C-alpha cells in the first residue's frame, strides 16, 4: 500500500516537472555585450524508497540546476575571459511531508530511520529513565530525575516531545538516543545539528557552504599559457572513483546520498584561487602543467547529515546523540513543585523557567560540548600545488597539499571520576542520581542520591590516581593504555569536543595505456603526515599517525558478444588500501580500524538501442568489515532532452555488530563490557553501517 501511494506521488511530481519543462527553452546561446552567453541546465525529480523492513518513500528531491557562462575572447589583456555561475536550488518533498504530517515519529510511525527504533524504557532504559534501572525498576518513574522521560513526568515537556528521539546502537547493551527533530542542542559550532527541516529539505545545510543556492561562482581568465580560476569552485585532482586519495581540496557531503551520487554533485565547492601554467616540453618531460591552489574559504567539514535526514551518516547521528547528552543530561536536575512538596524537599530543588535546569539532568558535564571550527584567518587557509607531466607513455601527477582534515575526531576534554572510590582525586562536583528519593537507599526522605565526582583532565586524572597507588591507573600508565583505567568502571563519562587538524598530504599518481591488452592502468597514492586519529588507548582518545593510501585501477572497453553484439562494455576494477603506519590496538580498542583497510570495486556499463539505453552497475567489497555494496541502474535517453533512470542500491554485511571501546562511558553499560556497538561501533562496521538503507529509485530529468 505504501509503495502504491508513493507511485502516485511520483506521478504527480513527474507531471509537475513536465509543466515546468514545457515553458523552459532549450540550451541557449546569445550575444551579450562583446561576449557570448551560454545557458544550460536541467530539471530533475529523483524519488527513493527504502525496501528494508517497512517500505516507504525516504526522499523525493526536485532539483533545478542552471549553468550560465558569459565568455569573451581577446578581452583587454586576456586571451579568454569567462564568468560562470551554477545555481542549484532543490526541495525534498518527502522529507517535509514526513515531518509536517508526523509520519516518521510517534507510535504509529513507520520505521523511524535505517538505524532507529522507538525510544522507550525497554529500548534505552538509561536514556529514557536515568538510573531507575540500577535500582531494579521495570519501568520509568522510580526516581524523580534523570532520563528524558522525567522531563515529561515533572511537567517540563509535553509527552509528544519524547517522540522526537529514536534509539540507535540497539544491538548493544549501551543504546544511544538520537534526535529526529530540529530542537536546539547545547553544542557550540556543531555542524548540521540545529538546522531546520526546511533547510534539510533544500539541502541548505552547514555542509553546503555559503551563498545558497549558488553552487559555483567563478571567473576564468587565460593569458598565454597561464590560466586563473577565481571564485567558488571544484578542484579535481584525483583519478579514482567512489573513494578519494588526492582529491582532497573539496570536502564531500556524504549526508546527501552516501557515495552513490557523482562526486561533482556531492563535492562542497570552495572559495579558492587556482593558477595553472602549461609548460609544454621540459627536457624528457612532455605535456607539463603546474597548478597552484589557494583555498581561502571558511573551513567546511565533510557533510555527515542532520540526524533526521534520510541518508544521515551514522556519525552524523552520533554527533546529534552526544550533543543531546550535553543538552539534556549535563544540567543540574530539578523537580516539579508538587514532587518537592510531597517529599518534603527544599524549594531549591524546584525547576524554575530559564534557570537551565532539567529533570533529565545528572549534574555533571557529559556529551559533546562543541566543535572546534578553525577561525577564518590567513594562517588557517589551505595551499597546495600539482605538477603533471608525461614521460614516454606514462602520465604522472605529483601533488602536495597543506590543509585541514575534514573528518571529525572526538576528544575527551574532561572526565568524571568517582571520587568516592578512586584515591588521589578530589571531588568538585556530584553525579546526582535522583532528587527527593533518598529513602530508596536508606537516606532521609527528600534527600539527594548522589556520588561525588572529580571533573578532571583525563591524563591528569589517571596520573593523580596512579600517584596514589590506584592499581588500574598504574596499569594504564605502565602499558600506555587508558582503557585499563576506564574499564574499572569508576568514570562516569566525560565532556567531549570535535577536533580537526592541519596536515601535509603528498600524492603521486600514474596512468598508462597498454596497446596490446587495451587496458588503462591507473595508480594513485597519498601520504598524510601526522593525521589526527582516534585512539581509545590514549586518555583523551587523540593520537597522530602517518597514513598511506594507495589504489590500483584497471579500465578496459571489452566486447561481450553474448550480452551485446553491437557495443563494448566499459569495465573498471579498483583496489584501495588505507595503511595506518603507526597503528596500535586490537579489534576492540586502540585505532578504530585495523592497520590495513582494503576495499575492492568493480564497475561496468554498456549501451543498447542505438545508444539510447544505458545499463550500468557496480559492486564494492570492504575486507575489514566484510561489507558489500551493490548498485544497478538503467537510463533511457528518450530524446536530447528527456531521460528516465531507475535502479537499486543494496548494502549487506555480517550480522554481528561492530563492537568497540566506549572508554569513559563504560560505567553506563548495563553489562559492564567496555566493547559496545555505541560510539565507534558504526565506524568499525565501515560501509556496512548503512546496511538497512537498501533502496530503489526513479529519476526523471529534463535537460536543456
**Backbone φ, ψ for residue 686 (5° rounding):** 60, -140
In whole angstroms, what is the distance from residue 178 CA to residue 200 CA? 17
In whole angstroms, what is the distance from residue 606 CA to residue 564 CA? 8
Tell me the domain boundaries of the chain: 1-115+169-330+365-374+560-704
Instruction: Compute the mean pLDDT over every residue in the chain, rounded to the nearest whole number.
Output: 91
Q: Check whether 106 has a pLDDT greater than 70.
A: no
Lowest-pLDDT choice from 37-41, 167-171, 577-581, 639-643: 167-171
Where in 296-448 does DSSP place strands (E)? Answer: 367-371, 382-391, 394-404, 409-418, 429-434
Q: Check whether 19 has a pLDDT greater than 60.
A: no
Instruction: Report the pLDDT value the prediction gives residue 422, as an integer from 0 to 100.
Output: 98
Q: Check whether 427 has a pLDDT greater than 80.
A: yes
In whole angstroms, what is the distance from residue 700 CA to residue 642 CA? 8
How do residues 286-317 score in pLDDT, each as one tens digit? 999 999 999 999 999 999 999 999 999 999 99
In whole angstroms, what is the distance from residue 615 CA to residue 119 CA? 42
Q: Is the peptide bond before 245 cis (omega within 30 degrees of 0)?
A: no
Question: What are the Cα distances from residue 556, in Å, to 55, 443, 631?
Answer: 38, 77, 20
Question: What are the Cα distances from residue 515, in Å, to 465, 519, 521?
Answer: 68, 7, 11
In whole angstroms, what is the distance from residue 150 CA to residue 165 CA? 14
Place of cell 583587454: 76
Instruction: Report the pLDDT value the prediction gives residue 100, as an integer from 0 to 100.
Output: 64
Instruction: Report the pLDDT value the prediction gives residue 105, as an integer from 0 to 100.
Output: 39
The pLDDT confidence band at residue 26, using thresholds 50, 70 and 90, is low
How do residues 155-207 score in pLDDT, each as one tens digit? 999 999 999 999 998 878 889 999 988 888 999 999 999 888 999 999 999 88
Contact between 409 and 534 (Cβ < 8 Å): yes
Instruction: Report the pLDDT value the prediction gives residue 112, as an integer from 0 to 100.
Output: 60
**Backbone φ, ψ for residue 9 (5° rounding):** -60, -40
Across the chain, which distance is largest between two alpha carbons, in Å?
Answer: 91
Three-class SS state of 688: helix
The pLDDT confidence band at residue 18, using thresholds 50, 70 and 90, is very low
Place of cell 527504502: 50
The pLDDT confidence band at residue 110, using thresholds 50, 70 and 90, is very low
Instruction: Report the pLDDT value the prediction gives residue 171, as an integer from 0 to 100.
Output: 78
How do residues 117-134 score in pLDDT, each as one tens digit? 999 999 999 999 999 998
* Rounded mean pLDDT, 327-340: 96
Q: Check whether 107 has a pLDDT greater than 50.
A: no
In whole angstroms, what is the distance from residue 385 CA to residue 36 CA? 32
Q: Check whether 620 has a pLDDT greater than 60.
A: yes
In whole angstroms, what is the distance from residue 624 CA to residue 630 CA? 17
Three-class SS state of 101: coil
Closest CA to 189 of 376, 380, 405, 370: 370
* Segment holding 452, helix H or strand E: strand 449-456
In whole angstroms, what is the distance from residue 160 CA to residue 106 CA? 8
Percent above pLDDT 90 for the chain:
79
Amino acid at each position: 500500500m505504501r509503495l502504491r501511494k508513493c507511485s502516485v506521488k511520483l506521478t504527480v511530481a513527474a507531471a509537475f516537472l513536465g509543466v515546468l519543462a514545457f515553458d523552459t527553452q532549450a540550451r541557449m546561446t546569445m550575444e551579450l555585450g562583446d561576449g557570448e552567453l551560454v545557458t544550460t541546465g536541467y530539471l530533475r525529480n529523483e524519488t527513493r524508497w527504502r525496501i528494508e523492513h517497512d517500505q516507504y518513500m525516504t526522499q523525493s528531491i526536485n532539483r533545478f540546476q542552471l549553468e550560465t557562462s558569459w565568455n569573451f575572447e581577446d578581452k583587454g589583456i586576456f586571451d579568454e575571459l569567462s564568468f560562470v555561475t551554477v545555481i542549484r536550488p532543490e526541495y525534498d518533498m518527502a522529507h517535509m511531508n514526513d515531518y509536517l504530517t508526523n509520519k516518521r515519529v510517534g507510535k504509529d510511525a513507520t520505521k523511524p530511520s535505517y538505524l532507529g527504533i522507538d525510544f522507550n524504557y525497554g529500548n534505552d532504559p538509561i536514556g529514557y529513565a536515568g538510573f531507575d534501572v540500577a535500582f531494579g525498576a521495570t519501568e520509568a518513574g522510580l526516581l524523580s530525575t534523570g532520563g528524558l522521560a522525567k522531563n515529561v513526568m515533572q511537567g517540563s515537556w509535553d509527552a509528544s516531545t519524547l517522540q522526537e528521539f529514536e534509539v540507535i546502537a540497539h544491538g548493544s547493551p549501551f543504546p544511544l538516543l538520537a534526535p529526529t527533530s530540529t530542537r536546539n542542542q547545547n553544542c557550540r559550532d556543531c555542524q548540521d545539528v540545529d538546522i531546520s527541516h526546511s533547510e534539510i529539505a533544500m539541502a541548505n545545510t552547514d555542509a553546503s557552504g555559503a551563498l545558497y543556492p549558488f553552487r559555483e561562482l567563478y571567473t576564468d581568465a587565460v593569458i598565454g599559457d597561464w590560466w586563473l580560476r577565481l571564485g567558488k569552485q571544484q578542484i579535481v585532482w584525483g583519478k579514482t572513483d567512489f573513494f578519494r586519495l588526492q582529491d582532497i581540496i573539496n570536502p564531500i557531503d556524504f549526508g546527501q546520498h552516501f557515495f552513490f551520487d557523482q562526486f561533482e554533485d556531492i563535492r562542497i565547492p570552495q572559495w579558492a584561487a587556482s593558477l595553472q601554467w602549461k609548460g609544454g616540453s621540459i627536457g624528457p618531460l612532455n605535456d607539463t602543467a603546474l597548478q597552484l591552489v589557494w583555498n581561502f574559504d571558511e573551513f567546511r567539514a565533510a557533510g555527515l547529515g542532520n540526524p533526521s535526514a534520510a541518508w544521515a551518516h551514522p556519525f552524523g547521528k552520533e554527533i546529534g546523540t552526544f550533543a543531546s547528552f550535553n543538552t539534556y543530561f549535563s544540567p543540574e536536575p530539578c523537580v516539579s513543585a508538587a514532587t518537592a512538596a510531597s517529599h518534603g524537599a527544599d524549594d531549591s530543588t524546584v525547576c524554575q523557567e530559564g534557570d537551565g535546569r532539567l529533570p533529565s539532568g545528572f549534574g555533571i558535564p557529559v556529551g559533546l560540548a562543541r566543535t572546534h571550527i578553525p577561525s577564518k584567518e590567513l594562517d588557517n587557509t589551505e595551499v597546495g600545488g600539482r605538477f603533471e607531466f608525461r614521460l614516454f607513455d606514462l602520465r604522472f601527477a605529483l601533488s602536495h597539499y597543506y590543509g585541514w582534515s575534514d573528518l571529525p575526531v572526538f576528544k575527551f576534554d574532561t572526565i568524571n571520576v568517582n571520587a568516592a572510590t578512586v584515591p588521589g582525586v578530589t571531588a568538585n562536583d556530584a553525579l546526582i542520581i535522583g532528587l527527593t528519593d533518598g529513602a530508596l537507599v536508606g537516606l532521609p526522605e527528600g534527600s539527594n542520591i548522589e556520588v561525588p565526582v572529580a571533573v578532571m583532565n583525563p591524563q591528569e586524572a589517571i596520573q593523580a590516581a596512579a600517584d596514589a597507588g590506584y592499581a588500574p591507573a598504574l596499569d594504564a600508565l605502565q602499558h600506555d593504555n587508558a582503557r585499563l583505567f576506564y574499564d574499572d568502571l569508576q568514570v562516569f563519562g566525560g565532556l567531549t569536543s570535535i577536533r580537526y587538524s592541519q596536515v601535509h598530504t603528498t600524492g603521486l599518481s600514474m596512468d598508462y595505456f597498454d596497446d596490446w591488452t587495451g587496458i588503462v592502468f591507473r595508480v594513485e597514492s597519498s601520504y598524510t603526515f601526522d593525521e589526527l586519529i582516534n585512539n581509545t588507548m590514549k586518555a583523551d582518545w587523540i593520537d597522530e599517525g602517518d597514513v598511506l593510501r594507495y589504489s590500483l585501477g584497471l579500465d578496459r572497453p571489452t566486447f561481450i558478444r553474448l550480452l551485446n553484439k553491437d557495443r563494448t562494455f566499459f569495465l573498471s576494477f579498483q583496489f584501495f588500501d588505507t595503511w595506518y603506519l603507526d597503528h596500535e590496538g586490537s579489534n576492540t580498542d586502540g585505532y578504530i580500524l585495523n592497520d590495513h583497510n582494503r576495499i575492492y570495486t568493480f564497475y561496468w556499463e554498456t549501451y543498447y538501442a542505438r545508444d539510447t539505453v544505458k545499463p550500468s552497475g557496480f559492486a564494492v567489497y570492504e575486507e575489514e568489515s566484510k561489507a558489500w555494496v551493490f548498485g544497478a541502474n538503467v537510463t533511457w535517453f528518450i530524446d536530447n532532452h528527456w531521460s528516465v533512470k531507475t535502479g537499486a542500491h543494496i548494502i549487506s554485511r555480517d550480522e554481528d555488530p561492530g563492537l568497540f571501546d566506549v572508554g569513559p562511558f563504560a560505567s553506563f553499560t548495563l553489562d559492564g563490557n567496555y566493547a559496545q556497538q555505541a560510539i565507534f561501533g558504526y565506524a568499525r562496521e565501515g560501509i556496512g553501517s548503512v546496511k538497512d538503507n537498501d533502496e530503489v529509485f526513479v529519476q526523471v530529468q529534463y535537460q536543456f
